[in-house]
Amino acid sequence: MPVNKAFVLASRPSGMPSADNFRLIETPVPEPGEGQVVVRHHFLSVDPYMRSRMNAGGSYAEPQAIDAVMLGGTVGEIVASRHKRFKVGEIVVNYGGWQLYALSDGSDLNKVERRSFPLSVYLGAVGMPGVTAWYGINRILKPKAGETVAVSAATGAVGSVVGQLARRAGARTVGIAGGSEKCAYATRELGYDACIDHRATNFAEQLAAAVPKGIDGLFENVGGEPFKQCMSHLNDFARVAICGLIASYNGAPTTLPDMRIVLVKRATIQGFIVSDDMSIWPAALGELGGLADKGELKYRETITEGLERTPDAFIGLLNGRNFGKQIVKLA
Ligand X SMILES: NC(=O)c1ccc[n+]([C@@H]2O[C@H](COP(=O)([O-])OP(=O)(O)OC[C@H]3O[C@@H](n4cnc5c(N)ncnc54)[C@H](OP(=O)(O)O)[C@@H]3O)[C@@H](O)[C@H]2O)c1
**What dihedral do alpha carbons 330, 99, 222, 291 form, nearest 10°?**
50
What's the min distance (Å) between Cβ of 239 and ligand X? 15
What's the min distance (Å) between Cβ of 302 and ligand X? 8
Q: Which of 102, 140, 246, 327 binds ligand X (CB under 6 A)?
A: 246
- The verdict on 310 binding ligand X (CB under 6 A) reads no
Site mask, ligand X, residues 261-290, x = CB under 6 A?
-----------xxx----------------
Q: Give the helix/strand (H/E) hosting 309.
A: none
- The verdict on 221 binding ligand X (CB under 6 A) reads yes
User: 3-class DSSP state for residue 242?
Assistant: strand
**What dihedral do alpha carbons 63, 64, 66, 67 form, nearest 10°?**
160
114 vs 118: CA distance, rounded Å: 8
197 vs 177: CA distance, rounded Å: 5
Site mask, ligand X, residues 23-52, x = CB under 6 A?
------------------------xxx---
Work out the widest C-alpha separation in the chain, in whole angstroms.
67
Task: Return the bridge partners of 38, or none.
Answer: 80, 103
| Residues comprising the chain, all counted | 331
Q: Which of 137, 240, 317, 330 binds ligand X (CB under 6 A)?
A: 317
Nearest CB to ligand X, comparing residues 32 and 257: 257
- The verdict on 158 binding ligand X (CB under 6 A) reads yes
Task: Return the bridge partners of 290, or none.
Answer: none
Nearest CB to ligand X, comparing residues 29 and 186: 186
- The verdict on 129 binding ligand X (CB under 6 A) reads yes
Q: Which of 215, 247, 297, 330 binds ligand X (CB under 6 A)?
A: 247
Phi then psi for residue 3, to 5 deg, are -110, 135
What's the min distance (Å) between Cβ of 29 and ligand X? 29
Q: Which of 102, 153, 194, 327 binds ligand X (CB under 6 A)?
A: 153
b/e per residue 111-139 (b: at least 16 CB within 10 A): ebeeeebbbbbbbbbbbbbbbbbbbbbbe
Q: Which of residues 95-124 bind ligand X (CB under 6 A)?
A: none
> Where do contacts with ligand X occur on this chain (CB under 6 A)?
47-49, 129, 132, 153, 155-159, 177-178, 182, 198, 221-222, 224, 243-244, 246-247, 272-274, 317-318, 320, 322, 325
